[in-house]
Structure 1
Amino acid sequence: MKSLLETEAYNEIKNRIENLSENASPTWGKMTVGQMAHHCQVALNVALQKEDYGLKPNWLINLLFKKSMYNDKLWKPNMPTAKAFRVTEDKDFNSEKEVLVNLIDDFHQQKDKKYWHNHPSFGKLTKEQWGQMQYKHLDHHFRQFGV
């Protein structure tokens, strides 16, 4: 599984985001490209401990979903979205993209960090799992918009 903490995967993600346009349409789901860019910021903000969005431990989510966050199996289109991650208001793609790119850069700069905090919902994650989860989330949504 690729990791956003690895330079090759980081560069790939950066190239893919540059191929997104404000006119991109989703191949599944209801989000606009601006809403998607904002949605992707949420996971990175959690990883960077900038915001926890009121997420709490949930044994059922851990049991059913945690391992899918960082394994090699692609997520299916139209998976349910956690309430804290839902974006329903209109978002300007260009400004959301700028924030997202900065968060991706901030996360990748953590590649040498030794100790990682617990995820507010999933609990203990290794450095590798954090990096894989961030890559997988971005990859899922970039595939949603064809990049």
Structure 2
Amino acid sequence: MKSLFDPNAYQEIKTRLEALTHESNPSWGKMNVGQMVTHCQFPLKIALSSKPRKHKWNLIGFLFKKSLYNDKPWKQGLPTAKLAKITDQKDFLAEREKLTSMVDAFHIKKEQTEWQPHPMFGTFTPEQWGQLEYKHLDHHLRQFGV
């Protein structure tokens, strides 16, 4: 599985983000391109936060955790967590710039060994964090054909 910590995968994601335009349309789902790049910031915010947090165990998190970082692509049209749903209009260029900066900030942490637990899925290894972040971005970039 590719990881956002790998220099080649990191550069691939940055190139694909640059390929997005105002005219990029989804192959599936309800988000437009501005909403999608805003949505993609959500898991990176979780990973980049140093704020102490506890993991609250739940069945969904337990059942789906391994699918977050394995080699199998996510299905189209999976439900989105309420907190990560973006329904208002967003400034595509500004939000893409924020996302790109967050991707850079995450990649820089490739040597970090201590990570806060994910609030829904619990503890990840650094390798799993990198895979999770790559997989989420890849899923949505494929959604928009880049």
Corresponding residue for residue 19 of structure 1: 19
Asked if the contact 1:55/1:84 (under 8 Å) is kept, the reply is no
Distance of aligned partners of 1:50 and 1:144 in 2 relative to their CA distance in 1, 3 Å threshold = farther
Corresponding residue for residue 33 of structure 1: 33
Q: For each residue in 1:64-104, what CA deviation from the matched residue of structure 2 results, as whole angstroms up to 9, or x when unmatched? A: 21111000000010001111110010111101000000000
**Structure 1 residue 112 displacement after superposition:** 1.0
Q: Calculate percent identity across the aligned residue pairs.
A: 53
Asked if the contact 1:17/1:142 (under 8 Å) is kept, the reply is yes
Asked if the contact 1:55/1:121 (under 8 Å) is kept, the reply is no
Task: Output the CA distance in 2 between the equivalents of 1:22 and 1:51.
Answer: 34
Task: Output the CA distance in 2 between the equivalents of 1:137 and 1:70.
Answer: 9
In structure 2, the gaps of 5 or more residues are: none
| Superposition misfits of 4+ residues, deviation over 6 angstroms | none
Helix, strand or coil at the partner of 1:104: helix
TM-score, normalization by structure 1: 0.94
Asked if the contact 1:45/1:51 (under 8 Å) is kept, the reply is no
**Structure 1 residue 22 displacement after superposition:** 1.0
Corresponding residue for residue 59 of structure 2: 60
TM-score, normalization by structure 2: 0.95
